[in-house]
């Protein structure tokens, strides 16, 4: 039990205007730890939101908490909301589908008097590794159809998600970087590229060696510097979606001959169409015209005639995709799943539609969604807000759902896997906490499940916003809360 003298009581009252709830409940020892953390160094200006609730039964008791109804920035714990909603609305067996189509007519000599169309289905894994492995079956499908040459062009169709690739509230300094590669209807090669620099002299300009894959038509304005040895990746790519110019700024560490960072493709659909055009021309199926996209055709007020589908491919199941989404906190996958939820529920694959559908779904389950703001599906936006109580109630709902097994399997285990591999290792929490992490500047959050020694499973959400601690210090505080949970 927490013992406090008069001075500490006054400090607690000043820093915790909304006191802990249900302190007579079994969770009281956990709440005492949370209250103590609020008073500690580096937490004076921080806001903590915490809630926990026993799950696995139809118990209707409210969650115990500390500021459980404060609207907090959830960072990547928002992926739990996206994952849960996706599983419940799309189903664990859902797959993304990409189609290869053609327009026009095919002559007896194998000449296609028309275009090849790559119709994207929002698959975040399309061409994720070896590009040739994706294009080879596409080319084979064209050949088997009898197509030997194309008088038109390859067209990338990303219209399923619209033309807005990223959320309005994502920060400008994030947009050009790989972790902010937005959801494109024709996502390809994880919507990223690699940029390599020479890093031989600290303090000097870091010459750009090149990019992989190459991006013809994109101008790179290189302002990257060579930082001190051991300074790590401080390099950033600045540019907006569909931009023809990208700025390279910041620093990359000295100490080796070269260093590579990752950026986001300005136009993934166009890159896919151009890469496939190049592949066909190099593999004896010539394409006469330069590649384009449906977006560019719309701008030019042109449209495609009727299409014939000759090949389709599907992604892995949603249940499988969620494992990497949550274990590696993959923003792109979360965004594509979020958009597809919107498409399924409203007919629109936009972020706005998806977020509205998500809020509606959970409100229909009886959760008070006041204060819930969902600007994206991955948690990169600092405009997102969720209460700890809301997230805990969602987690309880999933624990009673037929889709709990794939949901639970997608969440990292403390001290063992994913983003929690090194968190809580060697403590009582290792192997007993299964949670999604969330990190932004001065934001640290975790939410998931705690398997207590008593045999009870608890859903919990712990949000810490605007702390002044180091990463290691705030994680240590959070692990103390976990240890108290698993000791119940």
Count CA atoms closer than 13 A to 186's CA, side-chain side.
27
Segment (H or E) for 30? helix 28-38
pLDDT digits (tens, 9 = 90+) for 381-440: 999 999 999 999 999 999 999 999 999 999 999 999 999 999 999 999 999 999 999 999
pLDDT of 59 reads 67
Model pLDDT for residues 102-143, shown as the tens digit of each residue: 999 999 999 999 999 999 999 999 999 888 899 999 999 999
Query: Tokens at residue 12, please?
Result: 């607690």
Residue 146: closest CA among 99, 170, 110: 110
Q: What is the mean pLDDT of residues 84-98?
A: 98
What is the residue-wise DSSP string for 142-208?
A: HHHHT--EESS-EEEE-GGG-S--S-TTS-TTTTTBGGG----TT--GGGEEEEEEE--STTSB--E
Say if CB 282 and CB 217 are below 8 A apart.
Answer: no
* Region 317-321 average pLDDT: 98
Confidence of residue 200 (pLDDT cuts 50, 70, 90): confident
Q: Which DSSP symbol is given to 75?
A: G
**pTM: predicted TM-score of the whole model, two decimal places:** 0.93
């Amino acid at each position: 039990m927490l013992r406090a003298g008069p001075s500490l009581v006054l400090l607690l009252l000043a820093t915790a205007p909304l006191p802990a709830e249900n302190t007579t409940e079994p969770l009281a020892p956990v709440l005492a730890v949370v209250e103590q953390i609020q008073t500690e160094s580096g937490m004076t200006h921080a806001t903590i939101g915490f809630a926990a609730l026993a799950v696995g039964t139809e118990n209707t008791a409210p969650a115990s908490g500390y500021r459980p109804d404060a609207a907090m920035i959830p960072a990547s714990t928002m992926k739990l909301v996206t994952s849960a909603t996706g599983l419940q609305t799309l189903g664990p067996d859902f797959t993304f589908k990409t189609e290869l189509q053609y327009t026009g007519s095919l002559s007896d000599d194998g000449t296609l008097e028309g275009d090849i169309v790559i119709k994207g289905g929002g698959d975040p894994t399309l061409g994720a590794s070896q590009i040739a492995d994706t294009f080879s079956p596409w080319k084979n499908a064209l050949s088997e159809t009898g197509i030997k040459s194309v008088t038109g062009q390859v067209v990338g169709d990303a219209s399923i998600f619209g033309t807005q690739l990223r959320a309005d509230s994502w920060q400008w300094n994030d947009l050009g970087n790989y972790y902010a590669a937005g959801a494109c209807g024709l996502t390809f090669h994880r919507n990223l590229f690699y940029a390599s620099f020479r890093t031989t002299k600290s303090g000097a300009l870091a010459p750009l060696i090149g990019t992989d894959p190459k991006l013809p038509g994109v101008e790179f304005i290189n302002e990257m510097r060579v930082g001190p040895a051991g300074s790590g990746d401080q390099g950033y790519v600045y540019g907006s979606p569909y931009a023809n110019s990208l700025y390279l700024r910041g620093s990359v560490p000295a100490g080796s001959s070269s260093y590579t960072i990752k950026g986001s493709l300005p136009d993934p659909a166009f890159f896919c169409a151009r890469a496939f055009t190049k592949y066909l021309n190099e593999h004896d199926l010539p394409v006469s015209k330069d590649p384009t996209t449906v977006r560019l055709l719309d701008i030019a007020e042109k449209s495609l005639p009727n299409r014939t589908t000759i090949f389709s491919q599907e992604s892995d199941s949603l249940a499988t995709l969620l494992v990497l989404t949550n274990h590696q906190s993959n923003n792109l996958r979360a965004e594509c799943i979020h958009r597809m939820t919107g498409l399924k529920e409203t007919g629109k694959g936009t972020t706005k539609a998806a977020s509205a559908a998500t809020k509606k779904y959970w409100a229909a389950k009886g959760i008070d969604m006041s204060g819930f703001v969902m600007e994206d599906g991955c948690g990169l936006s600092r405009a997102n807000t969720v209460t700890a109580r809301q997230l805990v109630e969602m987690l309880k709902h999933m624990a009673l759902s037929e889709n709990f097994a794939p949901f639970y399997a997608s969440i990292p285990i403390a001290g063992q896997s994913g983003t929690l591999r090194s968190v809580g290792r060697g403590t009582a929490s290792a192997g007993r906490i299964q949670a999604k992490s969330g990190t932004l500047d001065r934001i640290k959050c975790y939410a998931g499940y705690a398997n207590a020694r008593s045999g009870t499973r608890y859903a919990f959400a712990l949000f810490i916003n605007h702390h002044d601690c180091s990463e290691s210090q705030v994680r240590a505080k959070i692990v103390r809360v976990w240890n108290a949970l698993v000791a119940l």
